[in-house]
Amino acid sequence: MGCRFCATGTMGLQAHLSAGEIAEQLLHAREFCPPDAPLRNVVFMGMGEPLDNYEHVLGALQVMSSQNAFALTLRNITVSTVGVPGMIQKLGHDCPEVNLAVSLHAPTQELRKRIVPSAGAFPIGDLMQEIDEYAERTNRKVMLEYILIDGVNAHVSVAHDLGQLCTGRRVSVNLIPYNRTEIGEAQGYRTPTEATCRLFQSTVLEYLDHEGKKVYTTLRRSSAKGRSVDGACGQLVLKKLPEAGAQESKAGVPDIEDLGGAPPAKPRQRGRVLRSRRPGEGLAGAPTVEALLPPGLQRHKWTFALAVGVGAVALLVKLLLGGAGG
């Protein structure tokens, strides 16, 4: 989306993830969760625009909430977006149980365009109308994400503008002090002081939401540990992009799209899932899914299969609708 403060955006668009690749991240993350603290919450946030990859995001949400896969509650899943015209309304229709977060970062159109250039295609008045319609349909608050940048959008007068924008609406505000990045430094951006952040928060709290209560406003700080490894909000970026054709991680964990494929010497069998004739071997010597999965992940083979299937169906539907439209 080209946000002026965000290092992640400097990578440009590399590719859209399939529903299976999104689900794969959950599968690996779940392996690190202790038994007494299972994975419960998921956020589509940080890299890319989910609503620009709508079919696969929707497919991944179906996998995550399926009782045959992750069995997560959709109310514990949040989709974050800068705002794509018409798509917030569509998400509210197709998946009303999911939470919505909108990267706002400014209460006026001109200021927002300075910070988020892509906002020029979606006037803030139209964006707020879609947010209102989503909140009305789902009966859920929409979280407004707001990066505080000293001297840009963190002044008390801007806080009043934000409070007025939130007045009477079913929204909450999450304030995030700017974390230093090279692209932000080039813009002259600075992290506001603690006093500036507190004053901004208290000013927004003077305004009332749809229930006549103070607009719920939080102040979130990235940890010192996260900032020290450039892993805090806005700092996540690959220093060196992987070479083309690289398909396996350093840990040797295969990608989901490679599961069930044949050895490189027999590319014609790639992508086939074959019935095993001997433990760990399929027809013509092709490895089965169980053989390719690491031991700790073998019990999740059907989760992989479901994720890949949903992704394939989403792609097929997209192709068919595209053909019909032509």
> What single-letter amino acid sits at 143?
M
Residues 6 or more apart in contact with residue 287 via CB below 8 angstroms? 262, 263, 280, 281
Confidence band of 311 (pLDDT split at 50, 70, 90): low
**pLDDT top residue among 179 and 132:** 132
pLDDT tens-digit profile of 251-296?
445 555 554 443 433 333 333 333 333 444 333 344 444 444 445 5
- Distance in angstroms (rounded) separating the CA atoms of residues 71 and 73: 7
For 289, other C-beta atoms within 10 Å of its C-beta total: 19
Which 8-state DSSP code applies to residue 52? G
Question: Whole-angstrom Cα distance, residue 1 to residue 174?
Answer: 20
CA distance linking residue 318 with residue 325, whole number of Å: 10
pTM of this prediction?
0.70
* Amino acid letter, 274: L
pLDDT at 179: 81
The tokens for 23 are 């689900």
Cα–Cα distance measured from residue 5 to residue 235, given in angstroms and rounded to the nearest whole number: 9
Residues 15-37: pLDDT tens digits?
788 999 999 989 888 888 888 88
Q: Residue 131: which of 80, 64, 61 has the closest Cα?
A: 80
Residue pair 279/24 in contact (Cβ under 8 Å)? The answer is no
Q: Write down the residue that tokens 């010597």 correspond to.
A: 285
Q: How far, rounded to the nearest angstrom, does the alpha carbon of residue 202 sit from its chain's CA centroid?
A: 29
pLDDT in tens, 56-102: 999 999 999 999 999 999 999 999 999 999 999 999 999 999 999 99
Q: Rg for the chain (alpha carbons), in Å? A: 22
> What burial letters (b/e) apply to 78-112, b meaning 16+ CB within 10 Å?
bbbbbbbeebbeebbeebeebbbbbbbbbbebebb
CA 148, CA 128: separation in Å to the nearest integer?
20
